[in-house]
Amino acid sequence: MSGELEKIRVVREELNAVSPSFCLAKWKQVTIHLQNGQTHSCHHPGTHKSPIEEIRKNPSALHNTQYKKEQRKLMLEGKRPKECQYCWNVEDLPGDHVSDRAMKSSEPWAYDDFQEVASMPWDYDVKPTYVELSFSNVCNFKCAYCSPVHSSRWVEEIETHGAYDTSGKFNNLEYFKEQKKMPIHHKEYNPYVEAFWKWLPDIYPTLKVLRLTGGEPLLDDNVYRILQWIEDNPRPDLEFSINTNGCVPDKVYDKFLAQLKKLVEAKKIGKVQIFTSVDTAEKQAEWIRTGLDYEKWLANMDRILAEIPTVKVVIMCTMNLLSITNFKRLLIDVAHLKYKHYIKGVRHMPIIIDIATLRWPAQLNAAILPADYADWLLPSLDYMKRMEEGKNNNPYYLGFFDLEISKLERFIEHVRTGVHEAEKIDIDNAHRDFYVHVTTHDRRRGTNFLETFPELETFYRMCESKWKAKFENA
């Protein structure tokens, strides 16, 4: 993987030759939340609704909505769609940081169709090559920054206790109803799920990546229907990916592993990737992700790497202000698995860490921290560089890759730079909301923030004082 960053920079120049805002992900990638009919291309922009009348006539509207076509038109004209602000923020940072626009466009599922996409009409109904979908919001977790859209446990909490009393009423069910984002209950009829099963035969032959997410997909019967579909319609060239929190009941994990292993051994499926999410390590990770047992998660990742020698695990690390103080511990655990499960000639990259920056809710965005909190991550960055593959006596493919290191570097820059103007975050308001968020979390879930994150007590007290001052001055 050495030199991967330079290859991506070359692709960036090719994209810019079409237009300085051109991104193949807007055409070739789609995430579809079938539980509420929402869709987006690339995970950074907010979702929007696939009109029900459109999908009944044309299931392709699960991806090719009129709104999305208009964003493609803007890109071809060299204009920056507002929904892609995450990448514009990265591209506008000091230095030569590479945004996800270039990273995603350099992936084979996108780059292989570069010329075709660049020359097609902006309103063409595209067959995506990377499809990510969730069938329902059924989940056994309720992560601190997640929402009822993706977690049935969040729905239960808000129905019982109400929204958090932040300025934006965090996870207010009325808001999701107004935005038409409330999930259809998994036991009820769902026209979007029906449309997907009608559309699948059309896109399946040319799909390059099929990725299942949730909720927790291992708890949804449709996932096993997909695995059966692949069993009946083998695609040895199809890359199959699935998200899992890695902490489902043992009998569920056993069932999934057995079915997946059968497909792999029969060569009815191609490359397999397991996507899983943790944002730091140990008790801090468990505070962020209610339902997580960090040691069980680590053991389950170890187990799947051992039982399926060709599988690759990708840790989706949504870096937020709670990730900072114990991040090196996660890196040490990841490095151990890299070395343990490297198989020469078979699996060069058993596990990687993919760092993304959390933007919302604002109260957990690391940019609201004082800039010197970025220093907490310098030992982590130093560790990654000492463990860089191909350097410091580390063989190639063992250790951390340049892309992994680059993403931590840009997150550190995110903390140092602070809130980007385009995000329009009221810092004082975000600080007050942080205090409300963590105290509500502690009260409802029996946790203790200050015992879990003692290094953040000074920041916590500052936020607490701002919250108190608001009422004293009212």
In tens, the pLDDT along 139-152 reads 999 999 999 999 99
Q: How far apart are the first and last CA of the chain?
A: 57
Average pLDDT over residues 392-405: 90
In tens, the pLDDT along 88-110 reads 999 998 988 899 999 999 999 99
% residues pLDDT > 90 (the chain): 91
Average pLDDT over residues 2-12: 87
Average pLDDT over residues 171-198: 95
Query: Using only C-alpha atoms, what is the Rg of the chain?
Result: 22
- Alpha carbons 417 and 372: distance in angstroms, whole number: 10
> Where does the pLDDT of residue 33 fall: very low under 50, low under 70, confident under 90, or very high at 90 and above?
very high
Which residues does residue 131 pair with via DSSP β-bridges, in sequence order?
A: 30, 210
Nearest alpha carbon to residue 271 among 300, 236, 304: 236
Give yes or no for residue 271 having a pLDDT over 50: yes
- Alpha carbons 160 and 282: distance in angstroms, whole number: 29
In tens, the pLDDT along 105-128 reads 999 999 999 999 999 999 999 999
- Alpha carbons 152 and 158: distance in angstroms, whole number: 10
pTM: 0.87
In tens, the pLDDT along 189-234 reads 999 999 999 999 999 999 999 999 999 999 999 999 999 999 999 9
Give yes or no for residue 347 having a pLDDT over 70: yes
Average pLDDT over residues 70-84: 97
Give yes or no for residue 421 having a pLDDT over 90: no
Positive or negative, the CA dihedral 13, 15, 18, 22 is negative
Nearest alpha carbon to residue 388 among 367, 407, 403: 403
Positive or negative, the CA dihedral 179, 47, 74, 78 is positive
> 189 to each of 9, 182, 264, how far by Cα in Å?
46, 14, 33
* 41 DSSP assignment: S
Return the number of other C-beta atoms located less than 10 Å from residue 354's C-beta. Answer: 15
> 420 to each of 84, 253, 414, how far by Cα in Å?
14, 41, 9
Give yes or no for residue 2 having a pLDDT over 60: no
Residue 74 in 3-state DSSP? helix
3-state secondary structure 358-408: CCCCHHHCHHHCCHHHHHHHHHHHHHHHHCECCCCCCCCCCCECHHHHHHH
Give yes or no for residue 75 having a pLDDT over 90: yes
Reading the block at residue 397, the tokens are 């493919």
What pLDDT sits at residue 239?
96
> Where does the pLDDT of residue 344 fall: very low under 50, low under 70, confident under 90, or very high at 90 and above?
confident
Nearest alpha carbon to residue 10 among 128, 114, 92: 114
* 139 DSSP assignment: -
Average pLDDT over residues 21-29: 98
Q: Counting Cβ atoms within 10 Å, is residue 331 exposed (0-12), middle (13-18) or buried (19+)?
A: buried
- Alpha carbons 40 and 182: distance in angstroms, whole number: 16
Which has the higher per-residue pLDDT, 425 or 159?
159
Return the number of other C-beta atoms located less than 10 Å from residue 233's C-beta. Answer: 13
> Where does the pLDDT of residue 1 fall: very low under 50, low under 70, confident under 90, or very high at 90 and above?
very low
